[in-house]
């Protein structure tokens, strides 16, 4: 066979055509060619033609799936290229998980010292003459912040963006971009939540959405944003994520209206995206918002967020124990370990086998139309009224107007007639209960770090909660969602301290936490705020001992940082007393902890009475304030006329463990100190009353911070006696022991 003499010439022409198509026709950004090696580009060209051959074999020339990636094994960055139709969220294939992987591998793990920046572009050309798919390219690079940043040129003390930026970003960024990012950075530094702003792109209908927040402030946020702007028929041409060494993240999205779509003007769509981005910041991983999450996927962010909050609410309050459990509890003896174990097993079984997370979520997915009506019922009460008075109401407000709002009774009847079983009815009833008891919420406020609801606790069943809380708060964020009752602040990180082997166990422990709030919420709250306390704080010591003994299966990661695993709580308590034997509050805290550890009564007494040693510093000022406050009405009639009352028994008549000398010293010396203090306080009160009214003086005493300090110190075993006055307080030392 004769040789083909023009083979080399043809090879050159083919290579030229292939290179021209890959370099020019696909519209891939120059960043790709600047970052990748010749070998990687060659592999990607071969993969591109491999996808074309695969499409031929499947007889579908219009669906050519491109999936190229190159992840640096040394953690320097990565490149991803895949087919991506504009304005659609892909639920299958490689592109469906690309952004979620970038979040997980790079963006969510970024810190001020180890951060990654991202550039992503949509190609302008199609992958072939017969297939119209476009390519989406992602370029992830590790930030290389200079060890010696350039000096700031600012004289006002504000952060200069040029001193905290990656050099690659500074090389590419325009002056306009630097100015926008600089302003957003300053706003982020002065607040906790995200900063969201929109800018026009000159000469086009394109809009630039800029979002700034602190590094680590949320998770999975970047991959959740496309679901938001796709819902409003927008698509992104370019997206950037920039990290800065001062702990700031800034996302920039260039959004365009989808060609040929029957959509509102981009001004209205982009405004709605800006409003709802804060909801996405709080709950980016919302299972009711992602496409394909259920049979109906038309929930907007607001409706999906409402569904999530109702889902968490139902998990807590559909799983009630009921009267049967409490009847059994009254029969059994909880002090008996075997009885207590049986009760706990029954409680856990109620939690696990009645309303699980999955079963409640399935009801929400199946009845999406009813969830939408329930959301309208919620929004009619809490939606900001100023939206209706605007010249052009927001898209979310217009959506509300397309629904016919139902009254509570009409909505309940519709739910009751639409349900197939009691299980579904109870789940959706909980949404209606949630709506009726929300007093206040930040749901529609654009600047928030977490969702917060203030609820009236009237719906709590008396059999489950015989002691009705006077306040109830529900907070949800990208970290956790939890409830708290009483006036204690809601610590969003409470649930993150629960050690659970699975998602369902996590949910069960979360609900148990609310039921056992009398101790667990206090304990975890003390731990979560430990950074604000001294390590040797007496109240923290008591909480640590209680947590170590009763909440060890639940609270693990946080407490082990403060208490070593190999150290017993008894040893911890003993060492604490030795280290702080001269501090009266520490002595009392040790006695409390000893009671929790079921130490003998005699040992608790001995510990408690070390507070009377002469080397113990006992701050009596708060005691004066409380005594003066409770005895104020009798100040003028008993002015200075006090003396120690006689004991109704000999000094040595009590238990043998208390010597005659100690009791005699206690009565003659320490009682006299209290009496002298009371007399001095009454004289001071009488003198003050000549300058101002008694009512005003009493009000000042009530608001004095020392009163609160005394309450924390003396309750419950001193304060109850002090309210009755000096004579009754020490009338029965044995009662004092039993209270202690």
pLDDT digits (tens, 9 = 90+) for 212-259: 999 988 999 999 999 889 888 899 989 999 999 999 999 999 999 888
Note whether residue 333 is domain-resident.
no
Helix locations, 318-421, DSSP H: 322-331, 337-353, 357-366, 368-382, 395-401, 408-418
Question: For position 103, what pLDDT does the model report?
Answer: 94
Return the minimum-mean-pLDDT range out of 115-119, 338-342, 719-723.
Answer: 719-723
Within a domain: 8: no
163 with 53, same domain: the answer is no
Domain count, the chain: 5
Q: What is the residue-wise DSSP string for 8-23?
A: HHHHHHHHHHHHHIII
Full DSSP string of 589-612: HHHHHHHHTT--HHHHHHHHHGGG
Residues 39 and 120 in one domain: yes
715 and 628 in one domain? yes
Token readout for 719 is 């304060």
Span 104-115, mean pLDDT? 93
450 and 313 belong to one structural domain: yes
Query: Is position 149 within any domain?
Result: no
Q: Say if residue 58 is in the same domain as residue 163.
A: no
Sorted by sequence, the CB contacts under 8 Å of residue 318 that are 6+ apart come out as: 354, 355, 360, 426, 427, 430
Domain end marker among 602, 617, 632: 617
* Confidence class for position 162, pLDDT limits 50, 70, 90: very high
Is the domain of 607 the same as that of 656? no
Question: Residue 687's pLDDT is what?
Answer: 58
Structure tokens at 419: 């349900």
Domain membership flag for residue 236:
yes
Which stretches of 234-343 are assigned E, i.e. beta strand? 234-244, 248-257
Q: Which two tokens stand for residue 578?
A: 């030795």
Distances (CA, A) of 311 to 288, 316, 371: 10, 9, 11
Contact in structure between 720 and 739 (CB atoms under 8 Å)? yes
Residue that is last in its domain, among 595, 617, 639: 617
Question: Among candidates 129, 128, 17, which has minimal Cα distance to 65?
Answer: 128
Q: Is the pLDDT of residue 283 over 70?
A: yes
Dist. CA 54–CA 61, nearest whole Å = 9
Mean pLDDT of the chain: 73
Q: Quote the pLDDT of residue 709.
A: 40
Record the pTM: 0.60
Q: Is residue 603 part of a domain?
A: yes
Mapping DSSP onto H, E and C, the string for 657-690 reads CCCHHHHHHHHHHHHHHHHHHHHHHHHHHHHHHC
CB atoms within 10 A of CB 44: 19
Q: What is the mean pLDDT of residues 92-100?
A: 79
- Check if the beta carbon of residue 360 is closer than 8 Å to that of residue 418: no
Judge whether 493 and 510 are in contact, CB under 8 Å.
no
Which pLDDT tens digit goes with each residue over 176-194?
999 999 999 999 999 888 9
Tokens of 671: 């009682």
Alpha carbon distance 79, 90 (integer Å): 19
pLDDT band at 66 (very low <50, low <70, confident <90, very high): confident
Quote the pLDDT of residue 145. 92
Residue 311 C-beta-side C-alpha neighbours within 13 Å: 24
Among residues of the chain, what percentage have pLDDT more than 70? Answer: 60
Scan for tokens 């079984």, then name that residue.
349
Rounded to an integer, what distance in angstroms lies between the CA atom of residue 686 and that of residue 701?
14
The mean pLDDT value for 423-437 works out to 91
Residue 7 within any structural domain of the chain? no
Residue 652 has pLDDT above 50, yes or no: yes
Identify the domain boundary among 617, 650, 681.
617
Q: Which phi and psi angles does 327 have, rounded to 5°?
A: -65, -40
In a domain, 328, yes or no: no
**256 and 312 share one domain:** no
Q: Widest CA span of the chain, in angstroms?
A: 133
> How confident is the model at residue 343, as a pLDDT?
76
Give residue 221's Cα distance to chain centre: 15
Domain enclosing residue 407, as ranges: 296-319+354-514
pLDDT of residue 389: 47
Q: In terms of domains, do 467 and 377 share one? A: yes
Q: Which residues of 698-735 are buried (b: 16+ CB within 10 A; e: fewer)?
A: eeebeeeeebebbeebbeebbbebbeeebeebbeebee
Secondary-structure breakdown of the chain: helix, strand, coil percentages, each rounded to the nearest 5: 50, 10, 35
Tens-digit pLDDT profile for residues 318-337: 766 666 666 777 777 777 87
CB distance 236 to 229 below 8 Å:
yes
HSE (side-chain half, CA atoms, 13 Å) at 303: 25
Tokens 């041409």 belong to residue:
237
* Inside any domain, residue 334: no
* 129-142 confidence digits (pLDDT tens): 444 557 888 989 99
Find the helix or strand (DSSP H, E) in which 78 lies: strand 77-83
Please list, residue by residue across 428-458, b when 16 or more beta carbons sit within 10 angstroms of its beta carbon and e when fewer do: bbbbbbbbebbeebbbbeeebbbbbbebeee
| C-alpha separations of 548 from 341, 516, 523, 543, 576 in Å | 19, 16, 10, 8, 15
pLDDT top residue among 145 and 641: 145
Measured distance CA(516)–CA(485) in Å, rounded: 11
With CA atoms as reference, report the closest residue to 77 among 39, 106, 100: 106
Is 317:433 a contact under the CB 8 Å cutoff? yes
Closest to 558 (Cα-Cα) out of 480, 495, 508: 495
Span of 157-171, 204-218, 252-266 with lowest mean pLDDT: 252-266
pLDDT level of residue 166 (50, 70, 90 thresholds): very high
Based on the fold, state whether residues 114 and 167 are members of the same structural domain. Answer: no
600 with 623, same domain?
no
The mean pLDDT value for 486-494 works out to: 35
C-alpha to C-alpha distances, 272 to 302, 368, 382, 398, 430, nearest whole angstrom: 11, 22, 17, 11, 29
**C-alpha span between 589 and 568 (Å, rounded):** 17
**Shared-domain flag, residues 361 and 504:** yes
705 and 631 inside one domain = yes
């Amino acid at each position: 066979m004769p040789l083909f003499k023009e083979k080399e010439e043809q090879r050159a022409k083919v290579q030229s055509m292939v290179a021209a198509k890959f370099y020019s026709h696909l519209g891939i950004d120059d960043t790709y060619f600047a970052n990748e090696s010749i070998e990687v580009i060659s592999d990607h060209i071969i993969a591109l033609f491999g996808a074309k051959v695969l499409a031929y074999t499947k007889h579908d020339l219009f669906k050519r799936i491109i999936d190229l990636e190159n992840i640096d094994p040394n953690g320097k960055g990565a490149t991803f290229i895949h087919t991506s139709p504009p304005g659609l969220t892909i639920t299958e294939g490689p592109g469906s998980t690309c952004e979620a992987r970038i979040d997980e591998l790079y963006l969510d793990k970024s810190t001020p010292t180890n951060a990654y920046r991202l550039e992503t572009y949509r190609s302008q050309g199609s992958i072939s003459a017969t297939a119209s798919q476009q390519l989406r390219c992602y370029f992830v690079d590790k930030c290389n912040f200079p060890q010696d940043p350039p000096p700031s040129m600012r004289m006002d003390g504000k952060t200069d963006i040029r001193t905290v930026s990656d050099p690659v970003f500074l090389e590419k960024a325009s002056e306009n971009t630097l100015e926008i990012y600089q302003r957003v950075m300053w706003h982020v530094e002065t607040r906790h939540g995200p900063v969201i702003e929109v800018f026009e792109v000159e000469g086009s209908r394109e809009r630039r959405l800029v979002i700034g927040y602190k590094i680590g402030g949320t998770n999975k946020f970047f991959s959740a944003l496309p679901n938001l702007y796709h819902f409003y028929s927008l698509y992104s041409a370019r997206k950037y994520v920039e990290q800065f060494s001062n702990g700031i993240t800034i996302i920039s999205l260039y959004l365009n209206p989808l060609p040929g779509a029957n959509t509102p003007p981009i001004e209205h769509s982009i405004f709605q995206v800006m409003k709802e981005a804060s909801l996405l910041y709080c709950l980016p991983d919302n299972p009711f918002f992602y496409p394909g999450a259920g049979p109906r996927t038309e929930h907007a962010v607001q409706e999906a967020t409402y569904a999530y909050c109702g889902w968490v609410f139902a998990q807590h309050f559909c799983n009630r124990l009921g009267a049967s459990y409490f009847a059994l509890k009254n029969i059994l003896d909880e002090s008996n370990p075997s009885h207590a174990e049986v009760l706990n097993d029954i409680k856990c079984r109620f939690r696990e086998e009645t309303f699980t997370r999955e079963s409640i979520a399935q009801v929400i997915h199946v009845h999406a139309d009813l969830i939408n009506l329930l959301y309208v019922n919620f929004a009619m009460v809490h939606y900001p009224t100023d939206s209706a008075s605007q010249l052009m109401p927001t898209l979310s407000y217009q959506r509300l107007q397309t629904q016919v709002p139902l009254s509570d009774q009409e909505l309940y009847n519709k739910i009751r007639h639409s349900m197939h079983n009691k299980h579904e009815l109870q789940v959706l009833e909980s949404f209606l209960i949630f709506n009726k008891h929300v007093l206040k919420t930040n749901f529609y406020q654009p600047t928030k770090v977490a969702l917060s609801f203030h609820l009236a606790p009237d719906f709590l069943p008396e059999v489950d909660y015989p002691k009705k809380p006077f306040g109830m708060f529900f907070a949800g964020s990208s970290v956790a969602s939890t409830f708290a009752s009483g006036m204690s602040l809601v610590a969003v990180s409470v649930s993150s301290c629960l050690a659970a082997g699975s998602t369902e166990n996590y949910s069960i422990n979360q609900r148990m936490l609310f039921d056992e709030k009398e101790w667990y919420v206090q304990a975890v709250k003390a731990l979560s705020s430990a950074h604000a306390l001294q390590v040797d704080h007496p109240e923290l010591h008591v909480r640590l001992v209680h947590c170590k003994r009763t909440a060890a299966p639940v609270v693990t990661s946080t407490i082990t940082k403060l208490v070593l695993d190999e150290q017993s709580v008894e040893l911890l308590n003993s060492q604490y007393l030795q280290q702080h034997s001269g501090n009266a509050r520490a002595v009392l805290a040790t006695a409390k902890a000893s009671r929790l550890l079921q130490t003998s009564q005699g040992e608790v007494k001995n510990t408690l009475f070390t507070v009377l040693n002469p080397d113990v510093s006992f701050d009596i000022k708060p005691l004066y304030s409380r005594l003066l406050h409770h005895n104020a009405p009798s100040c003028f009639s008993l002015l200075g006329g006090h003396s120690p009352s006689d004991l109704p028994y000999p000094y040595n008549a009590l238990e043998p463990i208390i010597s005659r000398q100690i009791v005699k010293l206690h009565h003659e010396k320490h009682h006299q100190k209290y009496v002298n203090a009371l007399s001095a306080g009454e004289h001071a009160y009488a003198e003050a009353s000549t300058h101002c009214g008694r009512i005003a003086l009493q009000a000042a005493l009530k608001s004095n911070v020392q009163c609160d300090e005394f309450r924390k110190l003396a309750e419950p075993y001193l304060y109850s006696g002090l309210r009755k006055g000096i004579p009754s307080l020490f009338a029965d030392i044995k009662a004092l022991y039993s209270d202690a």
